[in-house]
Chains A and B, each alone.
Chain A
Amino acid sequence: MISKAAIAHLQEKLGEKNVYHEKEDLLVLGYDSTPGVHHLPEVVVYPTSTDEVIAAMEIARREGLAVTPRGSGTGLSGGSVPVKGGMVLCLTRMNRIVEVDEENLTATAEAGVVTLDLFNAVAAKGLFYPPDPGSQKISTLGGNVAENAGGLRGLKYGVTRDYVMALKGVLADLSVVSTGGKSVKDVAGYGFKDLLVGSEGTLGIVTEITVKLIPPPQAKRTILAYFGDVRTAGEAVSRIIAAKIIPSTMEIMDRATINCVEDYVKIGLPRHMAALLLIEVDGHPAPVAEEAEAVRRVLEQVGAAEIHVAENAGEAASLAAARRTALSALARVSPTTLLEDATVPRSRLAETFAEIERLADKYRLKVGTFGHAGDGNLHPTVLCDERNEDEMKRAHDFYFELYDQVLAWGGTVSGEHGIGMAKKEYLARQIGEGGVRVMKRIKRSFDPDGIFNPGKIFDEGDSSTRPHVEEGFRVSE
């Protein structure tokens, strides 16, 4: 429980407006976008510099508070939820873009910079920062780094990790660490930077990030195809890749999702189709035209039911409309939307869809699936009602069994959302007891007292770190 004196001290160091401790603020800073998890912090601080991060952590250490970093709270695995209460360290007010280096093709920004703001800032200089998680309009770079966020362009351009060149952050002993740099090559010692990317705030607080930039593609073509059965769609994906074409985007939607979208926006989608693929190829104009044509040929050969190639940007936008609306359409169907990110090797795509369908039947659930087909990264989305305990139990069993199969096929329990508190049990199944033990040892070497984001990634045998437990409100008078 935090003392009044500590709050006063924080206010003195960070300024009154950067420290929240009233119930109404705490209530809204203990959740992210993960359903069913909500814990109350005791205090929330908004440092505006690395020095203020250190100052806040010093007080947290003295008070024995856990420290959970937070960006905009759009995570999908509970990464920023303060399971043990304590201090939430919100980095959204560290939001300066420090520099865009056009000679080295890098950008350096504070952790709280919004992903899309960085994209726009570098685009203004004719450069391109590709990672585009679904929440890019508000997600922060710090959050993207913590969760190693992906996005629609992952297939061709990779994910956040592939762009991080250097990180600056604060460790548990209050020292500032700088790792990586602007050098394209760097093999000096262990790759700390790579350890910190995707560490979900359990190893340190990242305050500044340097990312790699690339020249933007000059041209883009959009193709939409419908399929009578999912197997053909899966085959199309494999054959396009086998034809040595790497589209920038290759998105898939199943029949349930197509119908939800049609219910919602009524744009005349063919309801009887089993799947649609939205494909974009980009690059220099001449190869792009050739690749678009090659994609069309492959689609014809595998027997897509309908193929549409956009002639201009307006048409491209209308072809992409259904995919863009997928989440909105699904989310409207029911009060609770469980969005998972099971990921399999591409070749298993069709089988995964079949398995999802089988399990949805078995557990009597409404499931819509969409996702990044080119990455084998699917979002089987259960549409349910958190008040219905039986349904929630069935949803849990559905994912449990699905992940069993995903792992059997050599897939992963998280393609891009992270483990957080939501998927700890799945991770243990994927990497085994030995794997978890090594991770715990790494955690201890960075954070021997376990103050950073406790209760995430793996269980520490502490009952208070179980998910789906809502804590009471704690703060001293």
Chain B
Amino acid sequence: MSASDPKGNFKPQDAPRYDDVLQCMRCGFCLPTCPTYALTGRERSSPRGRVALARAVAEEKLEFTEAVKEEAFFCLDCRACTTACPSGVRAGEVMEICRSQAHAFYPLGKAGKAFREFILRKMLPSPELMETSMLPTRLYQRLGIQWLVRHSKVLKLAPEWMAKAEGMLPDLEKPLRTQLPEVVPARGEKRGRVAFFLGCVMTLMYPGVSRQTVRVLAHQGFDVVTPAQAKCCGAPHLSEGDRETARSLARFNIDLFLSHDVDAIVTDCAGCGAALKEYEEILEEIEDHDRLALFRSKIRDISEFLAEKGLRTEGMRQVKTTVTYHEPCHLCHAQGISSQPREILRRIPGVELREMSESSWCCGSAATWGLKYSEESRQVLERKLGNARQTGAEILVTANPGCQLQLAWGVRETGQKQEVLHLMELLGRAIPD
């Protein structure tokens, strides 16, 4: 702790940097971009208000109260405010750090703590454990219990989030991780060699999407290496305020991926991409800077990568359809990737892109936020679905599994006639076998 970086009423471990909160000039440009401010009209639930609360804690004008904790978790961490901020304040990240403070100030009860630690420290870091844990869920679907549960409406009796979580489940296939070959060779004229970072949600919930991503990369002329030992990117840990585990996962993945000689490390999950790009910051004080910079320089979202290399469209099949595009927060706001997915969409033969209004407004999924605040999440989702509906497009395209789960659930629940696809699924349809 120093005079220039006072921690005030924060715990010294993982506290917001004072400079980061001081940077806010309170212009309010973030207010119209914040979904929680739009919902509540309450300043403390806005980015400017949240940063001011953090500053008050640092300046010892406020204890780290329950309300501060509440705001840290009520923030969607959608980063729309980061995009809007003239002075470069990252309120979402300040709130992420406050979540970790919240756990220090308000430790969970024994059972809660054990459960949280089991999920964040045992299960998520282990691909094998996660695969095993999904087995009952797959059986649940296979054996028709899901059909029974959905039709008998027994979940109406359970807490709301549980019914929603159940309703969001896509049809599960076998996890992709165990099926994907270590190396998938390039097709046609070879353009390079990339590593594919297969995210947890992708392999478990959307193996079909990532299968297409690998197919696309190969078709575009890249050898695709998928290291099966890769661990969770750490995004859930950052979001839940467990920065320690996030750091150890980050170090593991850096070692693993830098051991491969590849031009780029590509992911099709915006959440993973954003987290991987943040390794440089969360490890700033403990890792070698050159290694961090090297790793950072290789990370690409799939659309970013394809736009950069130029999409080869020769021999692609026509996909005659109209689409609209929902921008994942962790793609457009956290990574600044907004034009690239659209560029890809426009280049797919036969596809007509119809822009929706507020395309970069959050869908209300936001990791576990959508389950914790299910009513608020429903309102945010309604706004999004309305905008998507107005375009009259046949397909609603996005580029992140969290959004895809939420949007697919939303259209199912409301009977909206739109197919929800990941950009790579759509692109996959254009690629000949």
Contact = CB atoms under 8 A, between A and B. Distances in A.
Given A24-B65, A29-B43, A331 B25 contact: yes
B370 to A, nearest CB: 23
B345 interface: no
A160 interface: no
Contacts of B26: 31-33, 73
B344 to A, nearest CB: 20
B336 to A, nearest CB: 12
A339 to B, nearest CB: 8
Q: Which of A22, A33, A135, A138 has the most C-beta atoms of chain B within 10 angstroms of its own C-beta?
A: A138
Contacts of B44: 24-25, 27-28
A72 interface: yes
Contact of B49 (A28, A116, A139): A28
B252 to A, nearest CB: 34
A135 B29 contact: yes
B310 interface: no
A147 to B, nearest CB: 14
Interface in B34-80: 41-44, 46, 48-49, 52-53, 56, 61-62, 65, 67-68, 71
B294 interface: no
B55 to A, nearest CB: 9
Contact of B52 (A22, A27, A74, A116): A27
Contacts of A327: 86
B41 A93 contact: yes
B89 to A, nearest CB: 9
A331 B62 contact: no
B62 A328 contact: no
Interface string A1-43: 0000000000000000000101111011101110100000000
Contacts of A400: none
A114 interface: yes
A54 B237 CA distance: 49
Tell which of A23, A46, A137, A331 has the most Cβ of chain B within 10 Å.
Answer: A331
B293 interface: no
A423 to B, nearest CB: 18
Given A114-B32, A138-B32, A327-B86, A386 B22 contact: yes
B350 interface: no
B88 A331 contact: yes
A322 B109 CA distance: 53
Contact of B31 (A72, A331, A337, A473): A72
Contacts of A28: 43-44, 46, 48-49, 52-53
Interface in B14-32: 19, 22-23, 25-29, 31-32
A328 B43 contact: no
B87 interface: yes
A24 B31 contact: no
A139 B44 CA distance: 17
Interface in A290-341: 327-328, 331-332, 335-337
A27 B88 contact: no
| Interface residue SS majority, chain B | loop
A24 B27 contact: no
A289 B83 CA distance: 35
B61 A27 contact: yes
B25 A336 contact: yes
Contacts of A335: 19, 22-23
Q: Which of A32, A73, A473 gathers the greatest number of chain B CB atoms within 10 Å? A: A73
B3 to A, nearest CB: 9
A74 B68 contact: no
A27 B67 CA distance: 12
Interface string A252-280: 00000000000000000000000000000
A430 interface: no
B62 A24 contact: yes
A92 interface: yes
Nearest to A72: B28
A23 B87 contact: no
A73 B71 CA distance: 20
Nearest to A22: B67
B53 A27 contact: yes
Contacts of B46: 28
Interface in A219-266: none
Given A27-B62, A331-B86, A35 B25 contact: yes
Contact of B67 (A24, A35, A74, A386): A24
Given A23-B62, A25-B42, A72-B31, A33 B53 contact: no
Contacts of A387: 4, 22
B27 A135 contact: yes
Contacts of A332: 86-88
Interface in B80-120: 85-88
Interface in A31-73: 31-33, 35, 46, 72-73
Nearest to A339: B25
Contacts of A35: 25
Contact of A331 (B28, B43, B49, B87): B87
A93 B41 CA distance: 8
A334 to B, nearest CB: 9
**Most-contacted residue by chain B among A22, A24, A92, A93 (CB, 10 A):** A24
B28 A74 contact: yes
A151 to B, nearest CB: 15
A396 B25 CA distance: 18
Contacts of A336: 22, 25
Nearest to B46: A28
A328 B28 contact: no
Contacts of B48: 28
Contacts of B19: 335
A387 B55 CA distance: 14
A25 B43 contact: yes
B45 to A, nearest CB: 9
B202 to A, nearest CB: 33
Nearest to B85: A328
A92 B41 contact: yes
A328 B52 contact: no
Given A24-B62, A25-B44, A135-B28, A337 B52 contact: no
A410 to B, nearest CB: 30
A162 to B, nearest CB: 24
Contacts of B43: 25, 28-29, 73
B27 A74 contact: yes
Interface string A111-133: 00010100000000000000000
B215 to A, nearest CB: 35
A138 B31 contact: yes
A101 to B, nearest CB: 26
Contacts of A328: 85-88
Given A135-B29, A138-B29, A46 B62 contact: no
Interface in A136-160: 137-139
Nearest to B30: A138
Contacts of A114: 32
11 contacts: A24-B71, A27-B53, A28-B46, A31-B52, A73-B26, A74-B27, A137-B29, A139-B28, A328-B85, A331-B27, A473-B61
Given A32-B26, A138-B29, 7 more contacts: A24-B62, A24-B68, A28-B48, A328-B86, A331-B27, A387-B22, A473-B61
A-B pairs with lowest CB-CB distance, top 6: A331-B87, A328-B86, A28-B49, A24-B67, A74-B28, A28-B43
Interface of A: 20, 22-25, 27-29, 31-33, 35, 46, 72-74, 92-93, 114, 116, 135, 137-139, 327-328, 331-332, 335-337, 386-387, 473
